[in-house]
Structure 1
Amino acid sequence: MTRLSYRTLSNLPDNVITADIAPASVQVGIVHLGPGAFHRAHQAMYTQQVDKDGCWGISAVSLRSGQLKDALQQQNNLYTLMILDDKPQTAIVSALKEVLVLEQDRAQVMARMTSPQTHIISLTITEKGYCLNNDGSLNLEHPDIRHDLAHPDNPISAIGLLAAALKQRKHTNTGDVTVISCDNLPDNGDTLHGAVTLFADQSDTALSQWIADSICFPNTMVDSITPASDDALQKAAEQVTGLEDAWPVQREAFTQWVIEDKFSGPRPGWEASGAIITHDVQVFEKAKLRILNGSHTALAYLGSLCHLNTVYEAVTHDAMHTFLNTLLHEEILPSVDASDALNPGQYAADILKRFKNRHIHHLLSQIAWDGSQKLPPRILQTVKDNLAANRSIALLSATVAAWILFVVRASQSDTKIIDPMGETLHELVKTHNGHLTNVADALLDDKRIFGELSQNTAFRNTVHSQLRIVAAIDSQNVSQQLAALCQ
């Protein structure tokens, strides 16, 4: 089959969406760190839709893997976006001008990040890529951060790389760049700003002050369910386009991007493609982290225990739907304030409707990755608020209990735990011989995950109580045990 490329764009069927301008003419104006499926399905498409002058092409930088570079370099970095809904759409995204790999292309990466033509540096590196402590501050003892502090001209972390690039921009007086985190972190822009300035302050207080005074790190909220690419997607993309594509991506039709109106240089007119530019991102961010991401986390761990595979399977399972609905209305929604911009109840109803999109094959196993990083912002912050307000934490605690059991069973079956603490978790289970109560106590003692909740007796007791019920779930009593969790 003919490969997707600039040369073969003219072969596409008329119903496939393409950019309004010739992709070969677009110049780089954005550097993006972490060009995973979400960025390619989300921010890249927003940018393509508004880049009418051809000055906002994206230089995509992988911090570790060269797989994407190898896959896309034979097709001019074009790829197919499949939008899955009852009325599906297909688009060819041409916003990526190049894919660089930090270790292979270090000089070129730095040149792009410090170029006067680059006005946006954005990131989707997942929670673990920020090398943070439980309280959201930079972990100066993280191995990657320690490496970068010792070798500032050869950084391997996103934080060290940003500091190095901003140092050079300071010297060349090119501070007209905005750094935009698009990851699921509370106050992600403020958190990234704090991490970069603290890193710089370890060796160059003048740089730290310049970053604080000159560079904007707007808070953002991003949303669109984006399942991992697979062979079935590749075949579907080829069937629609008639062209071979080494790495297409997919997402649901719904997409949202909320960006704080705080920039230190030029930017694309993203609002023309539906982005919300606002002074109050927090109301959207809190709702998304707690309602959508919190629900996803609960489904991932409890659904897996119930032998369910996808979000669609879990949310259309009667007992699991009842559990999730109770969790939302009794424990999550009371922690999210209503505002003129957002009705939490309607937002939750819309999310449940999105989860029931039968065209989205979103694996629970994928959502379950990096639990030690995801639990604090998605579940534990809500637990803290509910304890302070004397509200129920039973089902939030059941989610924590399900994660503990997930870790134990993965370790005992020698399944790799995909988590920045994966080896630590495996060794902990091994040390306690898989004894569930002892493992739970050891995990709850870990302040890197649970912070002040490690010392909260009510929380610990509730987790242990729910753990006994969760551990008894099997294929024969799913409905009964899920109902027991809600009592």
Structure 2
Amino acid sequence: MSLSEMALAARRQSSDTLFLAADQAGAFAIPISEAKPQNILGDVDLPNYDRSKLATGVMHFGVGGFHRSHQLWYIDALLRLNPEENYQWAYTGVGVLPHDAGMRDALAAQDYLYTIVAKSKVEGVSKERVTVAGPIRDMLLAPESPGEVMKRLAAHSTKIFSLTITEFGYTVPTSQGDHALLELAFRASEDPWAEADADPDKFLGATALGYIVAGLAARRASMAGGATILSCDNIPGNGDNAREKIIKRAEEHSQDLKEWVEFNCTFPNCMVDRITPITPTELIGELSENHGLKDNWPVNCETFTQWVIEDKFVDGISGRPRWEDAGVQIVEDVHPYELTKIRLLNVIHTTMVFPALLMGLEYIHEAAQNPLVKRYYTTIMEKELRPTLEVIEGIENIDLDKYQEVLIHRFSNEIIADTLLRVAMDTSDKLSVQGVPATLDGFECGANMKGMAFCVASWAHFIHRSVEAGHVLRDQKARIVEAAMEGKDINALLDIEFIFHELIFHQEWRKMVSHFYDSIHTVGIAAALEKMLDEYAD
């Protein structure tokens, strides 16, 4: 079984486990689609708007936990504030993979309502907010209904195509299904959508980007106008990245389509932030016991949330919701906000994970509060990553001291129980896209980057230990990095160019990583980390 097949199996098992927990809760609770203030317990925010008026304004690819805790949370807030202005901005979710049926079925069974449980607990102080959210009009499974997906993408009332498909989703090659979609798109004026749904197998294997490019081609053919493509993935320059990939696919089909997309569509960058762990089965029981609610697939997250979007939309303000009314920051340049979040949250997440795992810890809050690990990651924040931010134009609009203080508080949130292993997923991509650029910028700023070197050394030990234990490494490049560490020679790992880029030629950095790798092997992770930090202080 391949890594991707194992990932799909794990996700199917996860949905099956949640459904079983929901069925058991159902004997004692009311389905959220039937919930009324008088028949639920405790403090729960139910929708105060008429969901029968929802109309699709946004088509979203990748309906997972983060999308539901973040982007949908904001449109739900807008619907509560001013429903009449925001009914037109409801979401239709799109799943392109077989395992997406689990999410579709869970939501469809409860009229596309779901519960957001936002929690925090730091140093004994707890906060919780329970919200039943209703901004999803419906969810389509593309392998079953390719024509309906295309029809919605081509609709004049659809203004935004949004995505949370992970870094990997942008690298999936064009498929035969994608080519079939483009052929369908150029017949948009004939209204061929029902015909496509009658023969869905013709489009099997079509990708998220394939649907987006074909959707734009259908808009061109039917004269519906351009659309805004809003990537909400945690990737530097996510809008620029989406534009590059979509324009390339359009050009592969024809120069005319490429030029039409360039002229008529926009690709705003944005920065997204809300820690959202995998839904634990216990959450379903808690909702039943504490609030009398049955939810097939609730989502839990931290109380903090942030969204910063570049002001670049087709049709300007009339082509998007008034997100700023719900706290979204609409700005001219996202880069300072994005880089601050990526370096002080995402990169720090990655750096703290592997020393903590090698120490036997399991959760982010345990690592954040461990004195030695905290000393490690705050040292990297202060001495290696902040210097790379302080030279960025526009950084003066961000209070870095306050941002760092809030982050440490968020890392320490015990109630979220975000696992170190979840954050350790796909480290090869995270280093390539986030960690290596930060390291190179740090050297440019005169920082010694010992902390980042120690991160890579501890990751190498984690890879080797996982292989020895017979554990599956949850990384898209698992086989490559596992093979590199077979001989326990760190240099084979450091030679992987698509992970480390220019750093493979940086002899000082390579020596540091090798030194820390040997130190961990010789004296153990805690002693090696303490020694490195003591030398840092000197």
How does the TM-score come out when normalised to structure 2? 0.83
Of residues 271-280 and 10-19 in structure 1, the stretch that sits farther from structure 2 once superposed is: 10-19
The answer for the alignment partner of 2:350 in structure 1 is 297
CA contact (8 A) 2:266 2:312 kept: yes
- The one-letter amino acid of 1:299's match is M
Deviation larger for 397-406 or 192-201: 397-406
Give 1:464 deviation, angstroms: 1.2
Within a 5 Å distance, the mapping from 1:34-433 to structure 2 comes to 34-51=62-79, 52-53=83-84, 54-64=87-97, 65=99, 66-85=101-120, 86-131=126-171, 144-145=173-174, 153=182, 154=203, 156-265=206-315, 266-337=319-390, 339-429=395-485
Cα distance in 1 between the residues matched to 2:522 and 2:221: 62
Distance 2:523 2:51 in 1: 53
Q: Do the aligned partners of residues 148 and 90 (structure 1) sit closer, same or farther apart at CA in structure 2, a change above 3 Å counting?
A: same
Alignment partners' CA distance in 1, 2:523 and 2:89: 51
The structure having more radius of gyration, on CA atoms, is 2
What is the distance in 2 between the residues matched to 1:309 and 1:347? 25
* CA distance in 1 between partners of 2:67 and 2:467 (Å): 31
AA of the residue aligned to 1:81? I
Report the AA paired with residue 481 of structure 1: A
Q: Describe the shift of the 1:207–1:43 C-alpha distance in structure 2 as closer, same or farther (beyond 3 A).
A: same
- In 2: Cα distance, 1:120 partner to 1:240 partner: 37
**Higher deviation after alignment, 305-314 or 155-164:** 155-164
Aligned ranges 1:465-476 → 2 under 5 Å: 465-472=515-522, 474=524
Alignment deviations for residues 294-326 of structure 1 (CA, whole Å, 9 cap, x no partner): 111112222111111111100111111111111
Where 2:137 maps in the other structure, the secondary structure is strand
| Alpha carbons 2:275, 2:301 under 8 Å: kept | yes
CA RMSD of aligned residues (A): 1.9
Cα displacement (A) at 1:81: 0.6
TM-superposed deviation, 1:408: 2.1
Query: What residue identity is the alignment partner of 1:484?
Result: K
**Secondary structure at the residue paired with 1:87?**
strand
How many angstroms apart in 2 are the aligned matches of 1:459 and 1:366? 27
Alignment match, 1:485: 532
Letter of the 1:199 counterpart: R
Q: Please identify, of 183-192 and 409-418, the stretch whose mean Cα deviation from structure 2 is larger.
A: 409-418
Cα distance, 1:240 vs. partner?
A: 3.2
Output the CA distance in 2 between the equivalents of 1:400 and 1:345.
27
Q: Which residue number corresponds to residue 137 of structure 1? A: none
- 1:29 pairs, out of 41, 52, 57, with 57
**1:293, 1:115 → 2: CA distance?**
37
What's the secondary structure of 2:446's corresponding residue?
coil
Q: Which residue of 2 aligns with 1:435?
A: 487
Q: Which amino acid in 1 is paired with 2:403?
A: Y
Q: CA deviation at 1:71?
A: 1.8
Shift of 1:238: 2.1
The answer as to whether partners of 2:31 and 2:110 remain within 8 angstroms in 1 is yes
Distance 1:127 1:472 in 2: 36
**CA–CA separation in structure 1 for the residues paired with 2:483 and 2:487:** 13
CA distance in 2, matches of 1:212, 1:191: 14
Query: Structure 1, residues 109-157: CA drift from partner, whole Å, max 9, x if none?
Result: 22222222211111111122111xxxxxxxxxx5x33656765544633
Contact 1:319–1:483 (8 Å) recurs in 2: yes
Structure 1 residue 256: Cα displacement: 0.2
Query: 1:134 — aligned with what?
Result: none
Distance in 1 separating the partners of 2:51 and 2:473? 40
| Pairwise CA distance, 1:283 | 0.5
Mapped partners of 1:397, 1:145: distance in 2: 36
Amino acid at match of 1:36: G
| Structure-2 separation of matches of 1:340 and 1:20 | 39
Q: In 2, distance between residues paired with 1:264 and 1:447?
A: 38
* 3-state SS of 1:258 partner: strand
Asked if the contact 2:75–2:135 (Cα under 8 Å) also holds between the matched residues in 1, the reply is: yes
Q: 1:203 to 1:463 in 2, by over 3 A?
A: same
Given that residues 216 and 227 in structure 2 are in contact (C-alpha distance below 8 angstroms), is that contact kept between their aligned partners in structure 1?
Answer: no
Query: Given residue 78 of structure 2, which amino acid in structure 1 is its aligned partner?
Result: V
8 A contact 2:94–2:140 mirrored in 1: yes
User: Which AA in structure 1 matches 2:174?
Assistant: I
Question: Any idea what SS the aligned residue of 2:268 has?
Answer: coil
* Alignment length (residue pairs): 467
CA deviation profile, 1:51-88 (whole Å, cap 9, x unmatched): 31222221111222221112222111111110102221
Q: Secondary structure at the match of 1:61?
A: strand
* Residues 354-409 of structure 1: per-residue CA shift (max 9 Å, x gap): 11122221111000111111112321111111222332111111112222222222
Counterpart AA for 2:166: T
1:7 is matched with 34
The corresponding residue for 2:185 is none
Task: Say if 2:45 is the partner of 1:17.
Answer: yes
Contact 2:453 2:513 in 1 (8 A): yes
> Hey, what's the Cα distance between the residues in 1 that align with 2:307 and 2:470?
39
C-alpha distance after superposition, 1:325-353 (max 9, x if no partner): 11111111111127332122321121011
Offset of 1:481 from its aligned partner? 2.2
1:169-221: per-residue Cα shift (whole Å, max 9, x none)? 11112234211111111111011101110121122111111111111110000
Distance 1:419 1:209, change over 3 A: same
Deviations 1:403-448 (A, max 9, x none): 222222222322112222223334444xxxx2221xx322222222
The Cα shift of 1:163 comes to 1.1
